[in-house]
Every structure is written in structure tokens, then in C-alpha cells.
Chains A and B, each alone.
Chain A
């Protein structure tokens, strides 16, 4: 493996590694615009020029493979002059939009200019004028004046979703990136161009004018909950007087899961967290209208009802339908409560046809998958399944309609909607106790005795296991607005009301318990799950 020196730092890398990649390994960031590790190399921006001993001309680091004994300087006077020159050329036509440009504060053009560029302009020529704030599609705003023609967006659309909506039209300084007339930028991954664009030429419609990056107080690592791929993400939260606000979601690089990308649905769909229609307060309904009730009272009533059912009909009269939307920690505690503490064998999560197969499938050959929940694999790995003699979901519904099941807990699934062709309302109506948790009112919660407001993924600390079997952490980015507590807290209190002990409910404690048991997660501790997740067979 060749060894070379970059700015005096020695680095050994595999052959064919480019100088720009080798530099990154030793923490040297060579400035770049057109280069991106996930896209083809075009060598156009000329920002990554470096000086290589014995090469008469400067070389571009993105396309020059390392050689043994190579000596590279990224800050020599020749390089600095060339770089300053390139930046000057960029700024000739760049509009002075910083005050109104979303990219300001996280802009590589600003950053490199401040570090490497000229302080003042030498040009007195008129700048080229082009179209501004043009809606390219449902998610993207385009400003052609700001565009520096790095072509990352064009290459992205050709190479990743392979939809090729964007092209560079004309040539010379008349070059302009645009859509074919009448077309829209609406592939399922269009939002990635926002991350890719080094300037404010491609920005998010959703995020437009909403914040400055320095107002984003928290950048919480998490995982997208909208399908089984589990794309790694960052939640950008802005402080707001009456509670924080999640303003945008960006992908996090994880080569094994989502590379650098995420789909638009995951990126832009989080406004439900803030939706005023969200359930905030737990409610109780018994022979009358639904009423809000103090949390402790409500749980006491539920405990009483459970006791009545168990004493009258045995634990087998209680069932639980959990959800692959829940975290591993929630699922583990659910299982402990129902299978171990209450002793019922009736526990299942499989509500969707895809969950009966060994695995779901890729939806588009890129990132999206057919299972639109985050944790089917986790539910399977944690054995959220019927015990000996236990009923599955369909069985529980039938048992309820026949009066054999008296109490049913449904967590984060709208059964009525999931089984439109079954007599769900009748079945659920026969139950002595129906407890449902949900973020929003559903047909199922309308029938429930107790409705527990559920937390959104950004409000929980926990983990999902993606389709690959990779355990990935989600972290709390927002304080929940709901008046009730988390499901683990509810179950713990419920256990206490039943005279039992659920055990520790913090993720570390839950994983201590998980790790003790035989199975896919044996031996794993919460601290073992790193930023990029953990594949149990690799640990």
C-alpha cells in the first residue's frame, strides 16, 4: 500500500485511493465543490488543486491517485494563489444574496472564500442575470444566479434515482442548469440535491426562510421511522420560546444503510409531530362520552379492569397487539408485561401482509422498502409473537368477537383500518377493556376505553432494527407536548398498580435485560450500539 506525505503528515492508503480521499483519512479537508464521494468524478470546479512534488502543474486531488513516496502540499503559495483565483472567478457572477439566502452560515462558498478567497472584488462588470426562486418541483427552489455549475445535482439525478431530470444547457458562461420544459423535479430522492448543492442554488421549499443554521440548537442523530431501511438521519431543532421545533431532517452518512442519501418522504414528512390534531391527553370512555382524566387515575382504572378480567377469565382472556412502529425497548417491555407479568400467550405485531414473510423487499432498488414500519425485524428478533397456545392478530380479533378475549391492548396500530374486511368494530365493541395508544385519533381509538397519546419517534430514546438486522439508535430531539408519559412509564406504573415490578425502563437497563436472554441480541449492551448501528453477528 502506498505511503505518501500530505502537508507533512504521513498516510498509508490502498492503491487507487485519490489524494482527496487520502487527505480525509488524516483529517485534512481539501476544498472541493464538484467532488462528492457518492457521485462520478468530473474535475470541473478546480478547487481541489494541490501541489505535488515533481509535477510541473498543479494536480486535482479528486482525480489523482496516490503514489508511494508522493509529497503533496495543500497550502503552498502556488496552491493558495490558484485557489484564490478560482474563488475570484466564482464570485464574478455570484449574486450578493447572502442576507436572503438559506445557505448562509452553512455555505461552502462563504466558508472557502473567507478562508482562501479574495477579500474584495476586482470586477466592475455587470453580473449575468438569471432566473431566481424558481420552483423546480414540490420540494426544491432553484436560483440559477447562485449556481456555481458544480453539476452535483445533475449527476445525482442521473446516477442515483436515474431519472435524469436536470441538465446543463448552453455552454460557456451561458451554461445554466435547468429542467426539460414542462418537467418537474419530482423523483423520490430529489431532496438530496439540497444537501449536495454547495451554495444556495437548490434549497428546500419546506425550510425556506425558516431559520439560520446558528439558530438550530440541536442536531440529534436518529433513524427514519418510515420504512424498514432505517436511513440514518439528523434532526435539526431550533429553539423556540414555547418549546423546541424540529425544522428539518437531513441524512447522515452510513455506508451500510443509506450511503449519503435519504428519500423525500422521510426527509419532508415530520410535520405530524407538530400537528395540532395530535392526541395530547389520555382519555377514558366508559358508557358515556370520552373524558380527559388524570393519568394516575386512569391507570388505576385500567389496572382494576385487568384484574377483573384475569380473575374472572384467566390471563388468556387478555391479548396485546404491539406494533413494528415501536422501539425495541418498548417492545421488550411490552412483552415482559404481557407474556411474563400477566402471563398471557397472546402477543403479536404482524398486522401487515409483508410482515408474514421472512423479509420485506426493496421498493425501488435504491433505499425505499415495502415494509413501511421501522422495526419489524426488531419485533421478530425480540419474539413479539404468540407463546405456546397463543393467538396471533387474526386469532385475537376472532376471539374478541366471540367473547373469549375480554381485554385487548393495541399499541400504535389502527386495527379498523388495517382490516377493512373484517368485523372489527363488532369485535372490539365486545371487549370489556380496550386500551389503544396512538399519535392521532383513529377508528380504533374511537372504540377504546383508554386512549394513551403516543410519542413520535423524535420524542423517544431507543432503537430500531432495520431489515438488515442492524440495531440503530434513535435519540430524543424534542420534548414531547403530550401530557401523558411514555409507554414504558405507563407500563411500569400499571405493573405497580398490579403489585408487580416491570424492572428498569431506561434503555441501558432494558438492554441489560435483553442481553441476558438467549436469542439474536444476546450479550449486547446499549453502549455497544454506536453511531452507525450494530449488526449483532459482527459484534
Chain B
């Protein structure tokens, strides 16, 4: 279920490590990027690839915030909810996003375009409040800036990849 190119890349990746199990999380990132999320089939594929039990791989994948075991939107918006960002208006941003998109944090828009997720400290406290869209930082964010970003996102004019 994984493309030939990706599998080739994974084969190279595994070679870096003295023990191939080390490649698991980088592999999960790659597979997630290709499949969209870590479905049971994707997990089973990775398990077979590394000769691990599917429960073992799912146990690892479910530990990490950036690995999604449920379907997520085409675009992922992370909003930091930690202390400095909260001091400087993170909850306001969250309410704004929820109102604009009609969904709560942790959900995906019905058209499958955008998922919202609360995250913890993203190491952007000096430029708080901070968010990430598809792995790209946007800092000193305001509701106004959010509207601009959402507009660009809908028009396909935002850089960033889900990898």
C-alpha cells in the first residue's frame, strides 16, 4: 500500500541505524504523509515491514501527538495552548478558529480540509501566540492574521507539507 519510491526511501533510512526498529517513528511520519493518517492498514504494513507485532507499532504510534490514528484533514492546524501563548491570547485564537470553521479543537471540517488540534509548547514563546499549519510556524498570530491564513489555505497559497 506504500509507493515504490517511499519504500525505497525507507529502505535507505533503515540502513542508518544499528537496529532497524529505530527507524519506526521516522517511517511512521513518512507513511502518515503518504496515506494521510495511520490507518490500521498502514500500521499493519509498517509492522510487517519491521517485523513487529501490529499491537506493538500501534502502541508506539499512539504515544505521540503528531501521529494520527484517526483520519485527519488535508491541512493540520496546531495551536499552542501552553502558558505564554495563553497569556498572550491563545484561547482567543482558538475561539476564533472554532467559530470560523464551525468545529471544535480536535475535530475536522466536514469537507475534510482542515483539522484543529491543541498542542503544548512549540518553543515559540518569544513570538507568542504561535501556531503551526502543516508544519510551518506562524507567530504573533492575531484573529485577523488567522483569517488571512485561512483564506490563503483555502486558495492553496500556503506553503508547507504534512511531513
* Interface, chain A (partner B; CB < 8 A): 158, 163-171, 178-183
Contact = CB atoms under 8 A, between A and B. Distances in A.
B62 A164 contact: no
10 contacts: A163-B53, A165-B55, A167-B58, A169-B58, A169-B59, A178-B55, A180-B40, A180-B54, A180-B55, A180-B58
B43 interface: yes
Nearest to B61: A169
Nearest to B59: A167
B56 interface: yes
Interface of B: 40, 43-44, 52-56, 58-59, 62-63
Given A158-B53, A171-B63, 15 more contacts: A158-B56, A163-B53, A164-B52, A164-B53, A167-B55, A167-B59, A168-B59, A169-B58, A169-B62, A179-B55, A180-B54, A180-B55, A180-B58, A181-B40, A183-B55
Among B43, B55, B58, the most chain A Cβ lie within 10 Å of the Cβ of: B55
A136 to B, nearest CB: 12
A183 B53 CA distance: 11
Q: Is the interface of B mostly helix, strand, loop or mixed?
A: helix
Contact of A165 (B43, B52, B53): B53
Contacts of B54: 180, 183
A120 B52 CA distance: 44
B64 to A, nearest CB: 9
A180 B63 contact: no
Among B40, B43, B53, the most chain A Cβ lie within 10 Å of the Cβ of: B53
A165 B55 CA distance: 6
Contacts, number: 36
A166 B58 CA distance: 10
A53 to B, nearest CB: 38
Q: Is the interface of A mostly helix, strand, loop or mixed?
A: loop
Contacts of A168: 59
Nearest to A176: B62
A166 B55 CA distance: 6
A94 B42 CA distance: 34
Contacts of A164: 52-53, 55-56
Contacts of B56: 158, 164, 167
Nearest to A165: B55
B53 A180 contact: yes
A81 B1 CA distance: 54
A180 B39 CA distance: 11
Contacts of A171: 62-63
A171 B67 CA distance: 13
A489 B52 CA distance: 56
B3 to A, nearest CB: 24
A180 B62 contact: no
A481 B126 CA distance: 82
A163 B40 CA distance: 18
A133 B37 CA distance: 30
Contacts of A169: 58-59, 62
Nearest first, the 6 closest Cβ-Cβ pairs linking A and B are A167-B59, A164-B53, A167-B55, A180-B54, A169-B62, A180-B55
A170 B63 contact: yes
A479 to B, nearest CB: 45
Among A163, A170, A181, the most chain B Cβ lie within 10 Å of the Cβ of: A181
Among A158, A169, A178, the most chain B Cβ lie within 10 Å of the Cβ of: A169
B43 to A, nearest CB: 7
A180 B55 CA distance: 5
A158 B52 CA distance: 10
B31 to A, nearest CB: 16
A167 B59 CA distance: 5
A178 B44 CA distance: 15
A164 B55 CA distance: 7
A333 to B, nearest CB: 50
Nearest to B55: A167
A179 B44 CA distance: 13
A278 B7 CA distance: 60
Nearest to B43: A180
A294 B71 CA distance: 74
B2 to A, nearest CB: 19
Contacts of A165: 53, 55
A208 B109 CA distance: 44
Contacts of B43: 180
Contacts of A158: 53, 56
A118 B141 CA distance: 49
B80 to A, nearest CB: 18
Among A166, A180, A181, the most chain B Cβ lie within 10 Å of the Cβ of: A180
A179 B54 CA distance: 9
A293 to B, nearest CB: 58
A182 B58 contact: no
A164 B58 CA distance: 11
A315 to B, nearest CB: 61
A432 to B, nearest CB: 61
